[in-house]
Amino acid sequence: MIIRLLSAALVAGFLAAVVATGLQFALTSPLILKAEVYEEQAGKQASLSSPFARLIMPAHGDAHGHGDPGAAQEWEPSPGLERMAYTGLATLVGGVGYALLLGAVMLALKREPSPETGLALGIAGFLTVALAPAIGLPPELPGMASAALGVRQAWWLMTVVATGLGLYLIAVRRVPLTIAGGIVLIVAPHLAGAPLVVDTDSKLPAAYAAQFAARSLGVSLIFWAVIGLAYGWAWRLFGEAASSGNRSHA
């Protein structure tokens, strides 16, 4: 059972990562690159606006730290192939992890994994992990102002847990009391309010932020749908392979 669960999760995570990575490079990566240009320009303007900029900048050297060999630089993958590779790897790790979680939920609910069941739970996963948090904290481009990371993470986790429990009470329990409780749980984090910071100085066009949020959610929906469908398909495939192997040995 464990081997079958892991094998199906690996297949589902790999297929979802391939699809999602391709969509990311086609739809969201161009917007990220454009936003980074605005972010760099804003950083340069902020430095030059300081009356001490002429004294500070020579001491620290250029953007690559040539003026100070001992200066610590924040590491990031190089543009091009290296950046694509790290993006794909992160998507693959996330896909396998979510596929494992999806399989565990199916077994906990005593649902036989199938493409149909997988798709239904995949959409539920999208609603829980992506759409519900995005209502309060939409996907952000580089250079956009945001609240402190710890506060955002706490609100995101609260929203995910509340939405997941709410969907369980509504879709699985299906009695009036639990349906009402599920609705309350889903709505509660948004009534409490997400931590937001209004950035009045950002030069990033609002259209870029809106496009990025919409495209990111679209990619996430396809990502979760592929995970669910592929997991159900792979589960059946490995089950049939095991049955054929047992019959041949008999």
Residue carrying structure tokens 């464990």: 2
First to last CA, the chain: 20
Number of helices and strands (H, E) in the chain? 9, 0
Q: What is the pLDDT of residue 84?
A: 82
Q: pLDDT class for 68, splitting at 50, 70, 90? A: very low
Residue 6's pLDDT band, with cuts at 50, 70 and 90, is: very high
Confidence of residue 67 (pLDDT cuts 50, 70, 90): very low
Give residue 57's pLDDT band: very low, low, confident or very high (50, 70, 90): very low
Which of the pair, 46 or 78, is modelled with greater confidence? 78
pLDDT in tens, 47-56: 444 443 343 3
Long-range contacts of residues 105-110, Cβ cutoff 8 Å, at least 24 apart: 107/5, 109/172
pTM score, whole prediction: 0.84
Query: Angle CA(87)–CA(20)–CA(132) in degrees, nearest 5?
Result: 100
Lowest mean pLDDT among 151-165, 175-189, 228-242: 228-242
User: With the CA atoms of 37, 38, 42 and 48 taken in that order, what torsion angle do they form, in degrees rounded to the nearest 10?
Assistant: 50
pLDDT band at 83 (very low <50, low <70, confident <90, very high): confident
Per-residue confidence (pLDDT) for residue 162, from 0 to 100: 98
Question: pLDDT tens-digit profile of 99-140?
Answer: 999 999 999 999 989 999 999 999 999 999 999 999 999 999
pLDDT at 74 exceeding the cut of 90: no
Q: What is the pLDDT of residue 239?
A: 84
Tell me the percentage of the chain whose pLDDT exceeds 70. 79
Which residue type does 249 have?
H
* Domain-wise residue ranges, the chain: 2-41+81-146+196-249
Do residues 68 and 61 touch, judged by C-beta distance below 8 A?
Answer: yes
Work out the pLDDT band at 201, boundaries 50, 70, 90: low
Number of Cα atoms under 13 Å in the Cβ half of residue 45: 9
Q: Which of 57-66, 97-106, 208-217 has the lowest mean pLDDT?
A: 57-66
% residues pLDDT > 90 (the chain) = 62
Predicted local confidence at residue 99, as pLDDT: 97
Q: Are 109 and 172 in contact (CB under 8 A)?
A: yes
- Report the distance separating Cα 63 and Cα 59, nearest Å: 12
How sure is the predictor about 60, in pLDDT bands with cuts at 50, 70 and 90? very low
What is the token pair recorded at 240? 């049939």
Residue 235, CB-side half-sphere exposure with 13 Å CA sphere: 25
For the segment 62-87, the average pLDDT, to the nearest whole number, is: 61
CA 21 to chain centre: 12
